[in-house]
Amino acid sequence: MTTPLSGRKAQAARNDETILAAARAVFMRSPGAPVAAVAQEAGVGVSALYRRYASKEELLATLCADGLDRFIAVARAAQQHDDPWDAFAAWVRGVIEEDVHSLTVHLAGTFTPTPALGELSQQAITLGEEIFDRAVAAGVLRDGLEVGDVTMIFEQVTAVRVADAARTTELRRRYTELLLDAVRPAAASAPLPASAPTGAELGERWVPRDR
Amino acid sequence: MTTPLSGRKAQAARNDETILAAARAVFMRSPGAPVAAVAQEAGVGVSALYRRYASKEELLATLCADGLDRFIAVARAAQQHDDPWDAFAAWVRGVIEEDVHSLTVHLAGTFTPTPALGELSQQAITLGEEIFDRAVAAGVLRDGLEVGDVTMIFEQVTAVRVADAARTTELRRRYTELLLDAVRPAAASAPLPASAPTGAELGERWVPRDR
DNA sequence: ACTTGAACGGAACGATCCGTTCCGCTAGTC
DNA sequence: GACTAGCGGAACGGATCGTTCCGTTCAAGT
């Protein structure tokens, strides 16, 4: 069943994806962007958008679920590696590459979470723990490192951003490798100070923010 | 000359510092905060604020200059270390500790830069280069690392933030040490990909942003 | 004691932004 | 050729925020 190039239905169906892609691009760039910016990026009017989503919040929730899906897909693919370190590195690189962090955590707090989102997020967390624990068991991570640290690494690399999008990707790759090096046992010059972020600390960003 | 506890002049002088400190705290927490938030944090009315600064922009510029001053002070202090690595580490730790990055780069682009600010910033850059080059000459940094990378490290660690301020400081210390480990020669498993950010890329954030 | 005015608190104003709705048009479809 | 799903974009209403303004207070000067 190939979609015909013309016809109203086909056009509308194509718009579905165009709009979602535009929303992803825009909100990744600036999480607080107005709805009109998404419409402009997609080359459509605002009404095309509101025909599909009842509100901005619903669009954001959809995007967030989409991000979690990607996260889970990346993690599952990474798990296929035989070597625990390769799996770990593939997971980290993949999450950064797809900019999944911007799509999830940065959007969290801008809408009231749904139960479905909670389940997806729980699944993502579990997958991450599996990959991490395997790496720990294999002794390829430095002492004292915990899963929460990896989340913070995502957060930190995601903060790398310059005007040019392609260059941003390049730079993120650079610091991903830097941090992957940092996380190996050979890098440790002393125990890390303080304690890794707890699940509660990482979870607090899901509650709606005041500002 | 001790300031008397009472008297209008004394009260006003005390307010000067209270307001600046409040502004620092508020804008470090959220760079786009309204003026009223600063007034509230300082426990004064908005008019006390506008008596001292002609506009919000002027307040931000003052704060930014203050941040650059701190940066320069930290760098000068770090330079006193005999050991090049100690100097480098002290510089990085100090900048993170004082959260100078939030005070400068995060505020940049929200106001039109003044020439004086440009000079301060140039001085800060030069100081950083001196410390960095000394470390490179001593061979205590991994191959391929450049000064621009250090700025990005500041940016990344500054992105670490949780609700509790004290805990944020702790966590930032943790990742500062992680990244300091990463920049040492022992950590290098392979050359870093891509190239370090150029001066132009780092400078572009000083031009006023559209959003 | 009385006046004065610097300093201030906070309400009010006006501009801007943004989510959402609505109206008129277009172009497939029957 | 009439009908209507889908759409573009102007218009609306609410919220936010920088700035101004007015009434009040209280230390200093007489």
Q: Is residue B3's pLDDT more than 90?
A: no
Q: How confident is the model at residue A6 (pLDDT cuts 50, 70, 90)?
A: low
Task: Give A30 CA → C15 C1' in Å.
Answer: 24
CATH class of B56-206: mainly alpha
Give nearest nucleotide to A50 (CA–C1').
C20
Percent of chain A with pLDDT over 70: 96
The predicted model gives B154-175 an average pLDDT of 96
Report the C-alpha gap between B208 and B172 in whole angstroms.
Answer: 28
Task: Give B47 CA → D22 C1' in Å.
Answer: 12
**pLDDT per residue over B108-132, tens digit each?**
888 888 899 999 999 999 999 999 9
Phi-psi region of B43 (alpha: psi -120 to 50; beta: other; left: phi over 0): left
Report the C-alpha gap between A154 and B199 in whole angstroms.
Answer: 25
Q: Evaluate whether A79 touches A87 at the Cβ level (below 8 Å).
A: yes
What's the pLDDT at A207?
Answer: 80
Question: CB-CB: which of B190, B197, B204 is closest to A171?
Answer: B197
Residue nearest to nucleotide C10 (CA to C1'): B45
Q: How confident is the model at residue B209 (pLDDT cuts 50, 70, 90)?
A: low
Q: Evaluate whether B79 touches B127 at the Cβ level (below 8 Å).
A: yes
**What are residue A192's phi and psi, to 5 degrees?**
-70, 140
What's the pLDDT at B6?
Answer: 65
Q: Is residue A199's pLDDT more than 90?
A: yes
Q: How confident is the model at residue A211 (pLDDT cuts 50, 70, 90)?
A: very low
**pLDDT per residue over A55-95, tens digit each?**
999 999 999 999 999 999 999 999 999 999 999 999 999 99
The predicted model gives B13-18 an average pLDDT of 89
What's the pLDDT at B204?
Answer: 86
Nucleotides of C under 7 A from a protein CB: 6-12, 17-23, 27-29
Q: Which of A3-17, A18-32, A120-134, B80-94 has the lowest mean pLDDT?
A: A3-17
Question: CB-CB: which of B158, B179, B193 is closest to A182?
Answer: B179
Domain ranges of chain B: 1-52, 56-206
Chain CA centroid to CA B199, Å: 17
Mean model confidence pLDDT for chain B: 93
Can you name the CATH fold of A1-52? Arc Repressor Mutant, subunit A (1.10.10)
> Which of B156, B60, B157 lies closest to B107 in space, CA to CA?
B60
Q: What is the pTM of this model?
A: 0.94
Nucleotides of D under 7 A from a protein CB: 5-11, 16-22, 26-28
Percent of chain B with pLDDT over 70: 96
- Partner-chain contact B187 A181, CB within 8 Å: yes
Contacts of A155 in chain B (CB under 8 A): 159-160
Report the C-alpha gap between B55 and B52 in whole angstroms.
Answer: 9
Q: How many CB atoms lie within 10 A of CB B115?
A: 7
Q: Is residue B2's pLDDT more than 50?
A: no
